[in-house]
Amino acid sequence: MADTGKPKFEYERAADGLRAKIKSGEYPPGTRLPAKPALADLLGVRQGALTRGLDDLRREGLVETRQGAGTFACQPPEREPSPECTGPGKRLAAVEERVRQLEGRLEEVERLVRGRP
């Protein structure tokens, strides 16, 4: 996330702090993250802000939540995906990319229908 110089929301600080820990290797791929209360304390944020920050990281493919098992760190997207993280976050990212592609194609079709190249 680019630093715009504006104060960040608490959930953004939570996501930034955890993102840095994952990318630095403090939480290698496949590592189970601490429970939310402990992780919120570690990052200095409220649990609600942590939950929203984790949602952002899940969409980025940096964490994965496994029902009944906890939340796990995933391979940062700049490198080859790890076998530890092939869950819903990765599938969601693939779907979002496909939607972007289809939106571009739809815009092309709409231009052609209106007679504009």
Q: State pLDDT tens for residues 55-66.
A: 999 999 999 998
Every domain of the chain and the residues it spans: 10-113
CA–CA–CA angle 87, 89, 93 (5° rounding): 125
Average pLDDT score, the chain: 83
Does domain 10-113 correspond to CATH entry 1.10.620.20? Answer: no
Give the tens place of pLDDT for each residue, 69-86: 999 999 866 555 555 565
Residue pair 33/70 in contact by the 8 Å Cβ criterion: yes
Query: What are the pLDDT digits (tens) for 3-23?
Result: 566 778 999 999 999 999 998
Q: Are 64 and 88 in contact (CB under 8 A)?
A: yes
Beta strands, E only, the chain: 63-66, 70-73
CB 54 within 8 A of CB 18: yes
